[in-house]
Each structure stands twice: as structure tokens, then as C-alpha cells.
Chains A and B, each alone.
Chain A
Amino acid sequence: MKKYSVFAIAREAMRGHKGWEEQWSSPEPRKEYDVIIVGAGGHGLATAYYLATVHGITNVAVLEKGWLGGGNTGRNTTIIRSNYLYDESAGIYDHALKLWDGLSQELNYNVMYSARGVMMLAHNVHDIQVLKRHVHANRLNGIDNEWLTPEQAKEFCPPLNTSKDARYPVVGAALQRRGGTARHDAVAWGYARGASARGVHIIQNCEVTGVKRAANGAVMGVDTTRGFIGAKKVGVVAAGHSSVIMNMAGVRMPLESYPLQALVSEPVKPVVPCVVMSNTVHAYISQSDKGELVIGAGTDQYVSYSQTGGLHILQHTLDAICEMFPIFTRMKMLRSWGGIVDVTPDRSPILAKTPVSGLYVNCGWGTGGFKATPGSGHVFAHTIAKDDPHPINAPFTIERFRTGRLIDEAAAAAVAH
């Protein structure tokens, strides 16, 4: 792997940019690997990267039915934060946030992590209580989060409507300054390049159609559209399709898959300097470096794999955006799209060993998995390599739904679900 640097740019400029090499190779699959990762999204590629760099396991294949980073990695709204209520969540999301800081240098790939601040709005007394509780809980966990008055919120985000006669007036806000955004595609590409350079095989257009188990129940490998590929360890990181893959291994999951939509506006000059979220009116917004307003909507109410949600869901969100930012009422929206998110009953992810020996699962990230990408890959690689969870992901088991030891961010909801 040739290092990217200002000297590389200068060198290539001198010779007509003919020396740039492929960022990752597309090898033919081997018959057998030490580890197979199902799904080449951000989480799967990060897992492969940390298997290679931290644990020295490079005989790894990442199988992808489409193209890498083409699922929810390419569809999310790129928001990064770690202001979750519970200790377990704080542990894993802040682990990720610490890795985001410095990820571009680690990968030698510009993931454009921008700690521009995530501001969550309060509109009523209940919001104030909930958000202040989050502020205090976060600070006890060593996570930055601070309370802002409406005037301070306005100062931090000038286009925000803080007038007292708004239908849902802003009465305060919680601000995590380390929160922000990153370039979602670059995260997948950077991890893919780093993993591929260390010998990991990234095999695209290769759909897993079955999971083979030996007589003793342990995993033997997977059937794919390119034939059987053997492995003693298989990690399922298939987002909305995780329960489909797990069913192939005979494991029923506490998951339901829902459409989640997002949309972007026409590009305009810089106007939203941070990320603004409101759970009460259900809207969040940021601005990409290209200038588009990036807006996330909610999930539809029914299980679906259609990757298209209802228009009324988008309308609902745009109503809220126009209420918070009257300046945007005449903006044109350019594109909208949907993805399928896998949601657990307590709205916390599952990163764990499974009842099947050699089978591991990283799923259930629901509506907010992008922010966790580096941390998720890092601890999931540990789980696979050691056949034992990392202390950070140890609470995120499947068994918690039997024991009742939930991590109930659904009720705590620092985020609009």
C-alpha cells in the first residue's frame, strides 16, 4: 500500500496521475479462511481491519452481496455522538468516538471527521429534565455534554428559530462538542484499503445463501453465489438482513427490520454550523461539506425489506425542519432514499457470541449505527479473535433478552427512534 501524502500528490501531478494504485484488490475467493465476515459495510470492514492490525489474523474474507459500503454505510446521515444515557452505551459509543479522533491518521485516509458539535433541543419541561439527566449522566461517565440556554443555542446555531411564539419554542439544549459528522463512504473505503493491504480478501457480488454447520453444531463455512467457502469462524454483520443470515444458521433473533429514510437538499453555502436534533418534533439536520442539508426522517411502522418508506414520514420530518428553521421553507429537496435497519427490543445493539459455536453476530444498531463504526469493529474483532467478548461489548449479548438485563436506550432515548 502506497502511503497518501502531499508528496504523493506532487509526485503524481508530475506524471499525469498514472501511478495511483487500486485502493483494494478483488481476489478470487479461497476455499477456506480463518474468519469470514458477512457484510462489507463500515462495521464489517472495520472488523476485518482490526482483526488484521490488532490480532494479526489476516486470512480473512469479507463477503458482500452488493458492493462495499453500498448498504446503510452509504445511506446514513453520518452523525457521530456518544451522549447515551446508560453506562454500557456510554462505554461503547465513546470508545468509538475516541477512535474517530485520529482515524484519518490511523487509516492514512481522510474520513473527514468534523467535531462540529451535536446540539439536542428541549421544547418543554419534560425535555429539559430528560436532557439535563443525560448531561449529568454523561459527565459522570467522562463524556462531554453541556447545557445551553436558548440564547446560547441561537449563538451556536444562528439559523435556529428560538422565538418564544414558535409552536414548539426552544427552551434549552444539550450540546456535545465532540460530536459531529464524518464522510461515510470514506470510512468504508479507508477500512477496506487498510484491510486489503494486510491481506484481507474483500469479495463483492458474493451473496451468502446458507450457513453450513458440522455434526457437532459448529460452523463450517457458508454457501455463497460463488460456491462454498469454509471457515471455522463466521461473523455476521449484515445490518437489516442480519436476522435472515442468522436464520440460515438456525438462530432466531430478537430483531425486526424497518425502513428508515433520509433526504438531502440542493447544495447551498455554509449555513448550519453544527448538527441539530430534536426528539420532540422529530427532526435532525446537518450540512455536508458539499453544501447539502442532510435530514434524517423516522422509521416506518411496519416490518419491510423494500428499501422504500412512506412519503408521509418525510413530510412529517420536513414539517418539523421548517418549524425549527423557517429560513429553509423554500429550500428544494434533491434526493430521498430508504434503507433497512434492524431494531432490537431495547434499541441497543447485539455484539456477541451466539448459541452456535464459531458464529458471531454484530447487529441491531437500528437507526444509529454509523457513529459506532470504529468502536464496533474494534471490539467485535476482539470477540472473534479471542472467542470472548471485549469488556466494552460484554453487556451487549443476545441472552440479555432472556435474563432481562436490557440496556434500555429505547426508554432513555437520547435519540428519536
Chain B
Amino acid sequence: MLLIRCPYCEEERPELEFRNAGEAHVARSANMVGESDDDFEKFFFIRSNPKGIIYERWRHMHGCARFFNAVRDTVTDKFVMTYRAGEPKPSKLPKNSNEGLAK
């Protein structure tokens, strides 16, 4: 079971309190009706599914119930960091976060 730090509650809590909500930073079009089939497919179905660093959404379902984002390595399942929803995708990951991470 994962230990996940909720950036609102500011503590690590067991995974059972959380729901994974898929890949983060997938922008929803402001004009959904005008989306081409190709763009809608990219938005709705295509995922990066990386072997390595993933940016993903979680919801602290049985806590504050808020959505937030996390950076995790999908090979080790170790979290690099979590941050609040609406904050930009971190351009730099914290130092030492790459220790033990697969390339």
C-alpha cells in the first residue's frame, strides 16, 4: 500500500483514503463541441502511460476530499512530490528525487 502526502492536509496517509484520478495536466478544451475527432481522442483516450516519472491526479476521498497532483515513479512506486490542483506542472523536480529511480 502506498503512503501518500496530501498537500492540503499536509501529512502522509495510507492509500486507502485516496482515489487515483488518472493522468494530470490533460487540458480540457474550452470548446469541446468544436474539437476534431483527433483532438478528442488525444484528450479522452490517449495516455502517456510512462515507465518512469508520471504526473497524476489523486483525490483525498476519505480525508479533505480534494483533488491534488502527484509526481511518482511508476517503476518503484515512490512519490517524488505532491502539489495542489491548479499549480503548474513542476518544471524541475526536487533534488535527490532521482535517487533510486529508473531512467
Contact = CB atoms under 8 A, between A and B. Distances in A.
A310 B15 contact: yes
A303 B54 CA distance: 8
Contacts of A253: 46-47, 49
A345 to B, nearest CB: 5
A311 B23 CA distance: 24
Interface in B19-54: 19-20, 22-23, 37-38, 40-42, 44-51, 54
Contacts of B93: none
B41 A244 contact: no
B65 interface: no
Given A241-B51, A345-B45, A401-B45, A301 B74 contact: no
Contact of B49 (A255, A306, A310): A255
B75 A306 contact: yes
Residue among A241, A308, A401 with the highest chain B CB neighbour number at 10 A = A401
Contacts of B74: 257, 303-306
B102 to A, nearest CB: 8
A254 B23 CA distance: 12
A345 B74 CA distance: 19
A252 B1 contact: no
B49 A304 contact: no
B47 A301 contact: no
Contacts of B9: none
A47 interface: no
B47 A256 contact: yes
Contacts of A244: 49, 51
Majority SS of interface residues in chain A? Answer: loop
Contacts of A257: 49, 51, 74
B76 interface: yes
Given A311-B1, A403-B37, A305 B47 contact: no
B16 A312 contact: yes
Contacts of B77: 302, 304, 306, 308
A311 B14 CA distance: 12
* Chain A, interface residues (CB within 8 Å), range: 20 to 34
B54 to A, nearest CB: 6
B75 A302 contact: no
* Chain B, interface residues (CB within 8 Å), range: 20 to 34
Given A303-B54, A305-B75, A255 B16 contact: no
A401 B41 contact: yes
A373 interface: no
Nearest to A241: B51
A253 B46 CA distance: 6
A402 B2 CA distance: 35
Contacts of A306: 74-77
A243 interface: yes
A252 B2 contact: no
Residue among A310, A311, A403 with the highest chain B CB neighbour number at 10 A = A310
Interface string B49-72: 111001010000000000000001
A310 B46 contact: no
A149 to B, nearest CB: 38
Contacts of A312: 1, 15-16
Given A310-B2, A312-B1, A303 B45 contact: no
A182 B42 CA distance: 39
Contacts of A308: 77
Contacts of A254: 41, 45-47
Nearest to A310: B1
22 contacts: A241-B51, A244-B51, A253-B46, A253-B47, A254-B41, A254-B46, A255-B49, A256-B47, A256-B49, A257-B51, A302-B20, A303-B56, A303-B74, A304-B74, A304-B77, A306-B74, A306-B77, A312-B16, A345-B44, A401-B41, A402-B38, A402-B41
Given A311-B1, A402-B37, 19 more contacts: A252-B42, A253-B46, A253-B47, A253-B49, A254-B45, A254-B46, A256-B22, A302-B72, A303-B74, A304-B77, A305-B51, A306-B74, A306-B77, A310-B1, A312-B15, A345-B45, A402-B40, A402-B41, A403-B37
Interface of A: 241, 243-244, 252-257, 301-306, 308, 310-312, 345, 401-403
- Pick the 8 closest A-B CB pairs, nearest first: A254-B45, A401-B45, A301-B20, A402-B41, A302-B20, A310-B1, A243-B49, A306-B77
Interface of B: 1-2, 15-16, 19-20, 22-23, 37-38, 40-42, 44-51, 54, 56, 72, 74-77
